[in-house]
Structure 1
Amino acid sequence: MHRISIFDIFKIGVGPSSSHTLGPWKAALAFLELIPELKEVAAIKVHLYGSLSKTGVGHGTDIAVMLGLEGFDPETIETADIPFHIGRINSEQLLQLGGGAAGAKVGFNPAKDIVFENRARSFHPNGLTFIARLNSGRKIRRTYYSIGGGFIVREGSASKLVGHPTMPYPIECADDLLGYARSSGRSIADVVRQNELRLYTAEDLNAKIDRYLNVFSSVVHKGCIAPEVNLPGGLNVKRRARRMAAKLLGEPAALEYPAFDAQLRRIAPDFQSVTSWVSCFALAVNEENAALGRVITSPTNGAAGVIPAVLFYYRYFCPKSTLAAERDFFMVAGEIGSIFKKNATISAAEGGCQAEIGVSSAMAAAALTEVLGGTPEQTLMAAEIAMEHHLGLTCDPIGGLVQIPCIERNAMGAMKAITAANLALQSDPDDAIVELDVVIQTMLDTARAMHSDYKETAEGGLAMRVSVATAAC
């Protein structure tokens, strides 16, 4: 799996969940490609298993598969139009299968044709099966698994990612990454860059990273100006980022990003202000995510606020921040995420929230350490520290919604990342007892030992103590 690109880890998509929304959406698009003639489809059904069944409604899995079957791209769909599309499908009881000129209308009753199965499949907790019956009577059936971070695997297909060419620095684990940095004299960011240059020209790589950096900026800003309404789902969780930003600024956040940028650059960077802003940035992103807004999996949607919050901390509160360094930040974060993906998991349904917030915090800690001048050893040390203090973190979303405790957890993960970076920068890695590869393996061991109730099932922890009905009162 050494061919994972940073752009496999970072994906632009729609909230609230990369494994329960983006993955099933991509699976639906993949299934469409297997149907030779869409106009020959007489009926279609979708079966959801395991965690996709137990928390699918709260995570928008049903919405995702319908939009995918209609051919919408999660990266480009106008998110404000999603309620209209879903309302149309429900009222007409029809899918415009595949959309566009090649599409075909097929009868579809979401209440009956999306089946929430009361069981899991053996390969992974996030399973879903599509069945298309053709006019000829033939059936096309495929099962997919959404394995975290928007990655999908089709049952019966090879699970390794083989689409990329061999990299000059093939990385399987953190020790490989450190070895290449030492032997080549390159920074970790530069080692990653050399790999990515096998996929892109230097100009295209910078342009693609800059596009993602702009999306990070856009989602933080959008969250800071969004109306203070309740998030969907019935928990009545009120958006806070707009009021928080206005209170910290002493005026409303500007409606255009350049003016918002200017406001942030005037902030006096005292401790209380900085820590409050880091929390505000994280909340802004994950409130957008919970509202089915466009975010970047980092490495998942549920953990999408940590990376941009720490990036904004660097941009606005660290002296001499530069665009070139932000690109390095992005590359280091992506590579750390890929190492976790290869050797453990980034799926909360498989490993609990340590696999999402924990991984994102480790990614951010390493990235921040790199751009603040840390050595390769300190950069990996920061990632280890961040994950070490997320081990065992459970996933227990109330009502299966990516809201409580998920939104605030992003703020906590961001602050842990900054603390981990500061600790690493003030430490001698030669004195470290635990290495990053060891903590990654420990995270996997912990995931395997964790009770299934605490793996995104909404059957343990806070989800059992607080119901949607109770919270709504």
Structure 2
Amino acid sequence: MFLSVFDVFKIGVGPSSSHTMGPMSAAGRFLAELKRLDRPRAVGARPASIVATMHGSLAFTGVGHGTGRAVILGLCGQLPASVDPDQMDAMIAEVEATGEVRPEGHPAYRFRPAVDLIFDMKTPLPGHPNGMEFVARDQGGQVVYRQRYFSVGGGFVLSADELAAGPSADPRLVDVPFPFENAQTMLSMAEQSGLSIAQMKRANEERQMSRLELDRGLDAIWAAMNGCILRGMEQDGTLPGGLKVHRRAKKLHEQLQASQRQNMPSPTAANDWLCLYAMAVNEENAAGGRVVTAPTNGAAGVVPAVLKYTEQFLPGMGRSQIHDFLLTAAAVGGLIKHNASISGAEVGCQGEVGSASAMAAAAICAVMGGTPRQVENAAEIALEHHLGMTCDPVKGLVQIPCIERNAFGAVKAITAASLALRGDGEHVVSLDACVETMRQTGLDMSERYKETSLAGLAANVTVC
């Protein structure tokens, strides 16, 4: 099994990888397929208008997650990795004013957001909670092209046919030296090869690209993560969406800096810095800023916070160790996605913050000298203590409880790594068993607790 580090960590925009980045990418994919389509030329019909319908969780929490905005931007030809967050409002306003989208290389298509962007809360699409359908019609109203897509978490998008085909349809599952599909196989390969998890992951990646390309890509991921932390610590004010959530990272940063200047050490200082970094990222995400899926946007703060914390407090932490950190985290994230899910709409927040915490725990354990078995143990401990966690965002916004939850996910990651490093790698519950438990728990969990904002805090917190 091969899932690239650049699939697990994608540079994009907030507030949600599945509800923002996924729909934006799906809209772009629809445009690309529309452009390649031969049928309109064969029958003399040309696409003139587009209708986009969101189903399931995308319909229930789409407004709070910015799904509609993402679809509009995607139909304008924008992509999550390259769209300018400072220009998004202007692009959306132009579409709303003109009733058209004008993607580069295409004719103008009629698209009136108030009419042609539909949130259907009554008709879920079979296969996955995050379903959407795009339809192109000609001037006479006849359907020229129709396609369904599913945003399956972490910014990944599959067509209906690809979803039905399952993971075996992915050509990247072959032709790598260490094709581990589960943690047990990963440990066996590590023992037989004498390599670390990061070294095996690197060997797999270098089958697809050069070492220089890989290292530059890892540098870019960390630069984007670190840049998000720094921006988050500089911003203040109130987050958009109507909950009136105040940004706290800037004030917390100023307090910690003041304590340092006054030489007033606190027994919670390290923990405070860790929480600061996680909250800075997720406040940026909630504001629609540039973030990195890790493995999702809702959980984007955990891995960067632990990496920044490690860089700050672990002597000798340099470029090579940062690369190993990211590669180890991506290996664990790939296993979880392959064998369960990282989608809050599918398994709840255990699949988002729980997976992120497991990834971060494994990564810091590895760079602190942990053996592959200790690394696997760290990931299992972190994930185990997120099992059953629901996804119940208040008002459909990635703010409450998401921002603080990332801070706690980072704290759990550090604790899990510490416990694993104090042990010898032997433990009763395997990571594979924990991942399977998470999958089964997600199946048993009521849809009301899986990113629909119909229960939990979303139902009990009064929004004025």
Does the CA-based 8 Å contact 1:399-1:467 persist in structure 2? no
Query: Aligned pair 1:174/2:178, yes or no?
Result: no
Q: From the superposition, tell whether residues 415 and 339 of structure 1 become closer, same or farther in structure 2 (CA, over 3 Å).
A: same
Query: Aligned pair 1:369/2:365, yes or no?
Result: yes
Match for residue 109 of structure 2? 106
Query: Aligned pair 1:32/2:38, yes or no?
Result: no
Match for residue 72 of structure 2? 66
Matched residues in 2 for 1:47 and 1:467: separation? 29
One-letter identity of the residue aligned with 2:33? L
Aligned alpha-carbon RMSD (Å): 1.8
Matched residues in 2 for 1:209 and 1:77: separation? 21
- Of 273, 277, 280, 1:284 maps to 280
- Of 214, 223, 231, 1:205 maps to 214
Alpha-carbon displacement from aligned partner over 1:9-63 (angstroms, at most 9, x marks no partner): 1111111001101111111111111113799322110111000000001001101
Q: How does 1:294-373 map to 2 (within 5 A)?
A: 294-373=290-369
* More deviation, 412-421/268-277: 268-277
TM-aligned CA deviation for residue 104 of structure 1: 2.2
Q: From the superposition, tell whether residues 281 and 34 of structure 1 become closer, same or farther in structure 2 (CA, over 3 Å).
A: same
Q: From the superposition, tell whether residues 19 and 9 of structure 1 become closer, same or farther in structure 2 (CA, over 3 Å).
A: same
One-letter identity of the residue aligned with 2:356? S
Q: How does 1:39-438 map to 2 (within 5 A)?
A: 40-96=46-102, 99-100=103-104, 102-118=105-121, 119-135=123-139, 137-157=142-162, 158-160=165-167, 162-164=170-172, 166-226=175-235, 228-250=236-258, 271-430=267-426, 432-438=427-433
One-letter identity of the residue aligned with 2:124? A
TM-aligned CA deviation for residue 138 of structure 1: 4.0
Does the CA-based 8 Å contact 1:269-1:317 persist in structure 2? no
Q: From the superposition, tell whether residues 318 and 53 of structure 1 become closer, same or farther in structure 2 (CA, over 3 Å).
A: same
Match for residue 17 of structure 1? 16
Matched residues in 1 for 2:143 and 2:438: separation? 45
TM-score under structure 1 length normalisation: 0.92
2:125 counterpart SS class: coil
**Structure 2 unpaired stretches of 5+:** 38-44
Q: From the superposition, tell whether residues 267 and 213 of structure 1 become closer, same or farther in structure 2 (CA, over 3 Å).
A: farther
Q: Structure 1 residue runs of 4+, over 4 Å off?
A: 266-270
One-letter identity of the residue aligned with 1:208? G
Matched residues in 1 for 2:263 and 2:120: separation? 52
1:36 counterpart SS class: helix
2:92 counterpart SS class: helix
Match for residue 254 of structure 1? none
Does the CA-based 8 Å contact 1:153-1:159 persist in structure 2? no
Matched residues in 2 for 1:433 and 1:325: separation? 29
Matched residues in 2 for 1:43 and 1:121: separation? 23
Alpha-carbon displacement from aligned partner over 1:243-285 (angstroms, at most 9, x marks no partner): 111111129xxxxxxxxxxx99x99986411111111100100
Does the CA-based 8 Å contact 2:190-2:372 persist in structure 1? yes
Does the CA-based 8 Å contact 2:47-2:144 persist in structure 1? no
* More deviation, 137-146/438-447: 137-146
Query: Aligned pair 1:461/2:460, yes or no?
Result: no
One-letter identity of the residue aligned with 2:424? D
TM-aligned CA deviation for residue 103 of structure 1: 2.7
Alpha-carbon displacement from aligned partner over 1:92-141 (angstroms, at most 9, x marks no partner): 22211xx22x2322222211111111221120000000000023634210
**Structure 1 unpaired stretches of 5+:** 252-262
Matched residues in 1 for 2:264 and 2:318: separation? 19
1:132 counterpart SS class: strand
One-letter identity of the residue aligned with 1:93? G
TM-aligned CA deviation for residue 78 of structure 1: 1.0
Matched residues in 2 for 1:150 and 1:280: separation? 25
TM-aligned CA deviation for residue 200 of structure 1: 1.2
Does the CA-based 8 Å contact 1:24-1:146 persist in structure 2? yes
One-letter identity of the residue aligned with 1:48? M
Matched residues in 2 for 1:185 and 1:125: separation? 41
One-letter identity of the residue aligned with 1:156? D
Does the CA-based 8 Å contact 1:3-1:163 persist in structure 2? no
Match for residue 41 of structure 2? none
TM-aligned CA deviation for residue 91 of structure 1: 2.0
1:382 counterpart SS class: helix
Match for residue 444 of structure 1? 439
One-letter identity of the residue aligned with 1:7? F
Matched residues in 1 for 2:63 and 2:264: separation? 43
Does the CA-based 8 Å contact 1:20-1:59 persist in structure 2? yes
Does the CA-based 8 Å contact 1:124-1:145 persist in structure 2? yes
Matched residues in 2 for 1:230 and 1:89: separation? 27
Matched residues in 2 for 1:250 and 1:269: separation? 11
TM-aligned CA deviation for residue 317 of structure 1: 1.0
Matched residues in 1 for 2:136 and 2:429: separation? 51
Does the CA-based 8 Å contact 1:349-1:456 persist in structure 2? yes
Aligned residues: 451
| Fraction of identical pairs, as percent | 45
TM-score under structure 2 length normalisation: 0.94
Matched residues in 1 for 2:424 and 2:213: separation? 37
* More deviation, 382-391/460-469: 460-469
One-letter identity of the residue aligned with 1:94? E
One-letter identity of the residue aligned with 1:209? L
One-letter identity of the residue aligned with 1:457? T
Matched residues in 1 for 2:424 and 2:297: separation? 34
